[in-house]
A and B are shown apart, each in its own frame.
Chain A
Amino acid sequence: MTKANENQALRKAAEIVYENSAFIFVEDISLPEASVLESWEGTALRIEYSGDAQGFLELQVQNGFAHILAQNMLGLEDGDEKIASSAADALQESLNMLCGYFLTEYYGENAVFSIGMPKICSELSLEASLKNAGIWLDAEGFMLYMCHGLSDV
């Protein structure tokens, strides 16, 4: 399978998960300009899976996206205190769902996997994730970057 297949599966997973869980529509965008990348401020997450194949997904989201996600997932009004306290959990759960949909889309419905716990990784830089040649998406005006990689067995 090619990187294009892989990225197509990531894109489809993102469309399903964000639209169905939070009414957020994502659109493809091209690689942002160098100045955007240099001033990037966001949250990095990673989830690992094992089973018929072994690998990981990484998600980098621009600051502000987690609040929109939590607010929409929970149907909260602007300014609700629960938005901030739920933001990290909403992001992690979205990566869990992304991984589930990606695996079915990429490996098919007969493959069986164990999915690990999604983690926020403060040490994971955008630069490191970019080496996996993933996809950029626009979600409600915020930039998201997603990539997949296989682990060494």
Chain B
Amino acid sequence: MGYSVLIVDDSATVRSSMARVFDMANLPLADLFEAENGLEALDVLQENWVDIVLADINMPKMNGIELVRSMKSNPELRNIPIAIVSTEGSQGRIAELREAGIAGYLRKPCRPEELKNLLVEVLGEWQ
């Protein structure tokens, strides 16, 4: 048992390295789903239950901001927490994302303790 997580990033290297960060942070994973962009993420969410979505901003087809807005406007998805994991450090952009309803923000490359703190803050400690 553990967290069920969807990682949304167009870089396969980032998706794999995020999975490694979970391991380094001793965070238990029940399921790890991956998507290359927002559109793929919505498809995954139609078929699977996840505890949290971790999404990049800068992606082709549907970016992270569009994904947040799409999830928040969908009654079936709006309560799934979504956190942004991005290289961007603009306070204006982060404020825009918080207004759109993100549960948290991490800057890439994120450290294991930062990811752990985010998950505990959003989902609570895994028992």
Contacts and interface: CB of A to CB of B under 8 A. Distances in A.
Given A96-B87, A97-B108, A73 B92 contact: no
B91 A100 contact: no
A93 B20 contact: no
A73 B10 CA distance: 16
Contacts of B108: 21, 97, 100
A101 interface: yes
B111 interface: yes
Contact of B90 (A17, A93, A104): A104
A115 B91 CA distance: 15
A79 interface: no
Contact of B109 (A17, A89, A99): A17
B13 A93 contact: yes
A37 interface: no
B121 to A, nearest CB: 21
How would you classify the secondary structure of chain A's contact residues: helix, strand, loop or mixed? helix
Given A17-B109, A20-B109, A75-B20, A90 B90 contact: no
Interface residues of A, number: 27
A113 interface: yes
A100 B16 contact: no
A100 B89 contact: yes
Contacts of A75: 17, 20
Interface string A58-73: 0000000000001001
B92 A92 contact: no
B50 to A, nearest CB: 23
Interface string B84-124: 00111111110000000000000111010000000000000
Given A20-B109, A89-B11, A97-B109, A110 B58 contact: no
10 contacts: A17-B109, A20-B109, A89-B12, A96-B87, A99-B87, A100-B88, A104-B88, A109-B89, A113-B90, A115-B58
Interface of A: 17, 20-21, 70, 73-75, 86, 89-90, 92-93, 96-97, 99-101, 103-104, 109-113, 115-117
Interface of B: 10-14, 16-17, 20, 58, 60, 86-93, 107-109, 111
